[in-house]
Structure 1
Amino acid sequence: MTISVSSVPGVQARDKGHVRDVLLLLSFFISGCSALIYQVSWQRALYAVIGVDMDSITIIVSVFMLGIGIGGMLGGWLSDRYPQRRLRLYGWIELSVALYGGLSLWLLQRLEVLLASGPWSASGVASAVACFVFLAIPTVLMGITLPLLTMAFNERSGNIGVSVGTLYFINTLGAAAGAALVPFVLLPVLTLPQVVWTAVAGNVAVVACALLAATMLAPAVRARA
């Protein structure tokens, strides 16, 4: 009787682990791409509200980096507290980013009306607060994803340095692709809302990858054990 190698449980588990790793890397590439599409799109939208000068550029970039940093700390805490749910949490976080992205331009319109109608309409402080309010939620959510995915990826690699380096490289590669796509590919043929919805679609694809990878978690962990 001939036994197929693919039918051996250990081989199947190892193969599923490889597929899971590919899904995680693909998801983080798309996530980085979507994040930069959001950033460039939101910057353009915010410039229409608060103007374009060095102060507004500094505020937007600072809030973006602050949110990602805070999210990174929260992501580390969540990863330690819920080690068996990292991928599902990652999927839910990406879904939350997608939901916010879908509402973002509508929220920005409401924020623009609020800034224009109040006694603070000419205040630089009000503009800074508006940027913080608008960008804080999505950037914190984006920051949470790296620690969650790093520890999930590390379950198979067993080398935290390799895991962080690999995921950071893939995410940065996706971010570079997103930064290039917006001005050279998307905006020449799409409106700004359509560009934002392209990023939303990317987040939805990431959710699908994360949830599919989560179904392969148990076999991968057993294979490593």
Structure 2
Amino acid sequence: MTVTKTFSLTYTNDARASSDRSGAVSAISSAMSAWTSGASSYKVKTEQPGCDAQELRIQFRSTIVTSGADVAVSVDGTNPANRPSVVTGGTQMRYMVHGTSGAWAMIHEMGHTFGLPDEYTQLTGVPITPPPPTPGAPVVIPPSATPSATYVAAPPQANSTVTLTASRPSTRHPGKYIFDVESVMGRSGNTTFELHHYFWIAIEVKRLMEEEGTPAVVTII
């Protein structure tokens, strides 16, 4: 099972195709390869009446096109850049030539182009009153909250709910506490790919088979 996503490239803030295209293309290709590696533990299983079940490996492939792309990438040459490459919309991405966070940021942001959510959030913490006298001691504790994200599966496979846990006080937003999970869609730089990160593929395969008149039960195993 090969998932092909097309990308178009435009250039802004001193970025140029002559010098920056290869880096952007390499970053996209490497991120897609990481998603292929992450999928190596899983398969798409299709079951149709009267047929043997099929278990298909999952592969990701990127193609650069000039028009009609799935994702429009703005190659940004801002220097110095103090932010990572990001998805600015479901089908729009900004690739920072001089950005931070390196390859992991592209892998994480690629997940957003598949429709996956962030598996982290920041919530207002509870101040410690009075503040601890020890230098460097935390000044907030996590609020009483259990944020979560639910991934919808193709029936009859059950949905999967990810519960975020209190991770650490935010260094960028005083008074807030980061809730996170060790996952490629978290914010810790982790590259753990979970079964539910590929649920959307089963949903798409099921839809395509139904449109072709061959309904099937499609799951990720």
Q: Please, what TM-score do these two structures have when normalized by structure 2?
A: 0.28
Return the structure number with greater relative CO, CA threshold 8 A, min gap 6: 1
Structure number having the greater strand percentage: 2
Structure number having the greater helix percentage: 1
